[in-house]
């Protein structure tokens, strides 16, 4: 296996990715030159991780903690969304008030593990794992310098509640917002609730590089100077110039009215049921191949999807290009639209180090490294001189 793609050992990881899936945020971290270790339980996703050169042993995040990753300075994660998403059972939304109470209890140093076991769906409680890790790291005296979390928009109240705890207990500077992935070069409309926490000063959300998608066209208040949003035709140039995709899901609240997108538009949100979407070309019906669905999530064309339930793996993944913007912003840098477009063109093999680091990645890594070195001094000064965190008792 090429040097660049050898799996990172736990003790050497500078980034820990909780609920890592097949590697969405891991790909973004690798693009930025981070040594990432992902924790993932799904066996199929782990097979894809192995083929891509990431660590692939199955892990339950509840059985690990910061003490297992002594060199990590960044914590990332996208907990399971099935109970929070509109398309899911709604258990997370019904339990939202309970989850928020758990956050208050955790901030007070109480254990909520037994209570979490009583939830209707155990996946709902997993959304609290990043907070457990963050508070435990602070208790150990080495809080993560950077935390990045993403989830469906319904989880934004949870992120806001966590932000209050992280600000109060560990004195992080925290930003939360709901972002549109097509505004960051992803050829797909997808809204994600994002949390960025930093001990290195305030960190703004990534600046949009591409226009927002609106079915009726841009509004006067929209920034029309940004690059046009990427379309399915841009992402899949091997297909005929004109095709349409009929979604498996209904639109406008009517399950019988299927959403339709043209090739000249970005894809609708890619879900685990993407293999059921119909692609109509010249009167004939087709389906997306796995790599095409992955491409609409902004994965490289040669990303080695493996194992079973590949459509589910793809639908559950974080779009890597979106992750690149968010991780860069969390580390004090902004990705330009031109850089995003260049990264989007890269093959996964280009990142394996056999022919050197692509120029656009070398540039991004240098900027992130410069910001990281500068902020390291600030963080150490604040922790040592101003008690930037308070241990949880």
- Return per-residue pLDDT of the chain as tens, 393 residues: 443 456 899 999 999 999 999 999 999 999 999 999 999 999 999 999 999 999 999 999 999 999 999 999 999 999 986 666 555 555 556 777 888 899 999 999 898 988 888 777 777 789 999 999 999 999 999 999 999 999 989 899 999 999 999 999 999 999 999 999 999 999 999 999 999 999 999 999 999 999 999 999 999 999 999 999 999 999 999 999 999 999 876 554 455 556 899 999 999 999 999 999 999 999 899 999 999 999 999 999 999 999 999 999 999 999 999 999 999 999 999 999 999 999 999 999 998 766 789 999 999 999 998 877 766 544 333 333 333 333 333
C-alpha–C-alpha distance, residues 110 and 127, integer Å:
17
C-alpha–C-alpha distance, residues 222 and 236, integer Å:
27
pLDDT, residue 5, reads 53
81 is annotated as an active-site residue:
yes
C-alpha–C-alpha distance, residues 378 and 308, integer Å:
46
CATH number of 3-212+317-386: 3.40.50.150
Domain regions of the chain by residue span: 3-212+317-386, 232-316
DSSP track, 172-237:
-EEEEEEEEGGGGT-SB--EEEEEEEESSS--PPPPP-BPPP-TT---TTS-TTSBPPP-HHHH-T
C-alpha–C-alpha distance, residues 272 and 22, integer Å:
13
pLDDT, residue 375, reads 60
Q: 332 with 375: CB under 8 angstroms?
A: yes
pLDDT, residue 317, reads 96
Give the CA radius of gyration of the chain: 20
pLDDT, residue 4, reads 46
pLDDT, residue 121, reads 73
pLDDT, residue 390, reads 34
Burial of 296 (0-12, 13-18, 19+ CB in 10 A): buried
pLDDT, residue 342, reads 97
Give the active site residue among 81, 167, 229, 333: 81
The encoded tokens of residue 150 equal 């993403």
Closest CA to 5 of 318, 311, 300: 300
C-alpha–C-alpha distance, residues 183 and 365, integer Å:
22
pTM: 0.91
For 172-198, b where at least 16 C-beta lie within 10 A, e where not — what string?
Answer: bebbbeebbbbbbbbbbbbebbbbbbb
pLDDT, residue 122, reads 76
pLDDT, residue 251, reads 55
């Amino acid at each position: 296996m090429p040097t660049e793609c050898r799996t990172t050992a736990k003790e050497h990881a500078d980034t820990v990715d909780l609920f890592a899936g097949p590697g969405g945020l891991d790909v973004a971290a690798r693009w930025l030159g981070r040594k990432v270790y992902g924790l993932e339980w799904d066996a199929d996703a782990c097979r894809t991780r192995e083929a891509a050169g990431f660590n692939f042993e199955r892990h339950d995040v509840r059985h690990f903690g910061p003490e297992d990753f002594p060199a990590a300075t960044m914590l990332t994660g996208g907990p399971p969304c099935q109970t929070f998403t509109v398309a899911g059972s709604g258990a997370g939304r019904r339990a939202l008030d309970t989850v928020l109470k758990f956050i208050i209890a955790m901030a007070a140093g109480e254990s909520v593990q037994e209570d979490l076991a009583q939830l209707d769906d155990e996946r709902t409680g997993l959304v609290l794992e990043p907070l457990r890790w963050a508070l435990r790291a602070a208790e150990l005296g080495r809080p993560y310098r950077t935390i990045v979390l993403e989830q469906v928009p319904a989880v934004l109240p949870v992120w806001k509640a966590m932000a209050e705890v992280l600000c109060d207990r560990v004195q992080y500077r925290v930003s939360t917002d709901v972002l549109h992935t097509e505004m960051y070069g992803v050829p797909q409309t997808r809204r994600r609730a994002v949390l960025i926490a930093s001990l290195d000063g305030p960190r703004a959300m990534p600046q949009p590089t591409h226009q927002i998608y609106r079915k009726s066209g841009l509004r006067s208040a929209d920034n029309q100077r940004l690059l046009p949003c990427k379309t399915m035709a841009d992402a899949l140039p091997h297909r005929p110039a004109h095709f349409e995709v009929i979604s498996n899901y209904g639109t406008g609240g009517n399950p019988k009215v299927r959403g339709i997108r043209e090739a000249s538009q970005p894809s609708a949100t890619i879900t685990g049921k993407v293999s059921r979407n119909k692609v109509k070309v010249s009167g004939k019906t087709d389906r997306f191949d796995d790599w095409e669905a992955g491409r609409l999530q902004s994965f490289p064309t040669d990303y080695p999807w493996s194992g079973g339930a590949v459509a589910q793996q793809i639908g559950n993944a974080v779009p890597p290009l979106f992750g690149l913007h968010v991780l860069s912003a969390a580390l004090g840098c902004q990705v330009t639209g031109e850089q995003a477009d260049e990264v989007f063109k890269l093959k996964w093999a280009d990142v394996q180090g056999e022919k050197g680091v692509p120029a656009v990645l070398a540039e991004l890594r240098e900027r992130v490294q410069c910001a990281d070195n500068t902020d390291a001094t600030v963080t150490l000064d604040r922790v040592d001189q101003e008690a930037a965190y308070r241990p949880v008792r």
